[in-house]
Amino acid sequence: MKQTVNLSECNHPLFLSDIPEPILLENEILIKVSVCGVCHTELDEIEGRTPPPSLPVVPGHQAVGVVIAAGRSVRRFQIGDRIGAAWIFSTCGVCHYCRSNRENLCPDFKATGRDANGGYAEYMKVGEDFAYLIPQNFSDAQAAPLLCAGAIGYRSLHLTGLKDGQNLGLTGFGASAHLVMKMAKKLYPNSSIYVFARNEEERTFARELGAVWAGSIKESAPVKLDAIIDTTPVWLPILEALKNLAPGGRLVINAIRKEDADKDLLLELDYSSQLWMEKEIKSVANVARSDVADFLKLASQIFINPIIEEYPFVEANTALLDLKQKRIRGAKVLRIS
């Protein structure tokens, strides 16, 4: 990535370049990348909502590949192991948040593909404590979305406090939401899932995966919902979701940033209809390593298999533009090598 741009005005923000192979520290491993998932956070980086501290940078934080070299102190992995790297690249390890199992809130949180070169490359490095063995029952391409879309969905679902039999809503139906759907149907078999999405293709996809109802963002669900997870990059779904919450319900916002285009809508927030009756709003901040590790284990046990669209490495810009223009069915994955 060479500079932050508006993808609507410049549809080729990424360029191919030869860069030196990463030099390993003693606790780092070198990965020959096979695939890397494409995430909306890449759009946030490119368009300046969560800009990298320096440019150029190699984006991508859902990388899967094989260990081909290791620093002298590495003990967890061996040459040939198939591993993944996720959004969490490093933390300080000593602050109050790190010491209380909340490393995702660390003030020195570093993100793969933003603060350090990521997986849109043939080779990348990662600290051994921030890498994950890939379960054998997933292909590389299947595993890539699990590392972020799945892990952040796992954290979001946990934060809803949902109990089996309660009603769950999802706003937006892309990579993360479709994995939440698959997960929730297995973990909460007596719960019903309602989906709000802006286009009919997403709504149809949601019904195919088991939504009992799917409507547009501004529609009202046929019942009030105990929890809603918002996976969109805009503000309108927040306001509409609050209207659909049952008393005491919780809205969990699964987005690292929100776009500014419709933020003025917040002035229309109505306390009595949208916030009263002890409704809650909770945001999701990053992921902890435990989220990634626990979700990979769960996904392997109950086999949460993502629906994927695969692109050649050289079509990374096309994949991002498709994501920007909401041409989405499941998760997008780049085939690197």
Residues 249 and 319 in one domain: no
Q: Which amino acid is at 194?
A: Y
Judge whether 31 and 67 are in contact, CB under 8 Å: yes
Residues 264 and 294 in one domain: no
- For the cut 70, the answer to whether the pLDDT of residue 7 exceeds it is no
Residues 126 and 36 in one domain: yes
Do the domain assignments include residue 318?
yes
Do the domain assignments include residue 6?
no
CA dihedral over 180, 183, 188, 190, signed as positive or negative:
positive
Residue 181 sits in a domain whose CATH number is: 3.40.50.720
Do the domain assignments include residue 238?
yes
Spatial distance between the Cα atoms of 9 and 286, rounded to a whole number of angstroms: 28
Rounding to the nearest 10 degrees, give the CA dihedral for residues 198, 201, 207, 210.
-90
What tens digit of pLDDT does each residue of 302-325 get? 999 999 999 999 999 999 999 999
The pLDDT mean for the chain works out to 95
- For the cut 90, the answer to whether the pLDDT of residue 98 exceeds it is yes
Residues 279 and 157 in one domain: yes
Q: How confident is the model at residue 259 (pLDDT cuts 50, 70, 90)?
A: confident
Rounding to the nearest 10 degrees, give the CA dihedral for residues 140, 144, 147, 153.
-130
Phi, psi dihedral angles at 173 (to 5 degrees)? -145, 65
Residue 128 sits in a domain whose CATH number is: 3.90.180.10
Residues 160 and 223 in one domain: yes
Do the domain assignments include residue 259?
yes
- Cβ-Cβ contacts under 8 Å for 89 (sequence gap 6 or more): 61, 110, 111, 112, 115, 116, 126, 127, 130
Joined together, the tokens standing for residue 332 give 């997008």
Residues 143 and 74 in one domain: yes
Residues 169 and 279 in one domain: yes
- For the cut 90, the answer to whether the pLDDT of residue 240 exceeds it is yes
What tens digit of pLDDT does each residue of 39-95 get? 999 999 999 999 999 999 999 999 999 999 999 999 999 999 999 999 999 999 999
- For the cut 80, the answer to whether the pLDDT of residue 4 exceeds it is no
Domain span at residue 169 reads 151-283
What tens digit of pLDDT does each residue of 146-200 get? 999 999 999 999 999 999 999 999 999 999 999 999 999 999 999 999 999 999 9
Residues 296 and 266 in one domain: no
- For the cut 70, the answer to whether the pLDDT of residue 17 exceeds it is yes
Do the domain assignments include residue 23?
no
Residues 267 and 158 in one domain: yes
pLDDT of residue 327: 87
Residues 220 and 302 in one domain: no
Spatial distance between the Cα atoms of 185 and 169, rounded to a whole number of angstroms: 12
Q: How many domains does the chain have?
A: 2
- Cβ-Cβ contacts under 8 Å for 249 (sequence gap 6 or more): 224, 225, 226, 227, 228, 279, 280
Residues 155 and 142 in one domain: no
The alpha-helical segments, DSSP class H, found in the chain are 40-46, 96-99, 140-143, 149-160, 175-187, 200-208, 236-244, 289-302, 316-324
Q: Which of 3-17, 144-158, 203-217, 269-283 has the lowest mean pLDDT?
A: 3-17
Is the pTM higher than 0.85? The answer reads yes
Do the domain assignments include residue 3?
no
Do the domain assignments include residue 1?
no
- For the cut 80, the answer to whether the pLDDT of residue 123 exceeds it is yes
Residues 246 and 322 in one domain: no
Do the domain assignments include residue 12?
no
Percent of the chain at pLDDT > 70 equals 98
Element (H, E) at 314: none
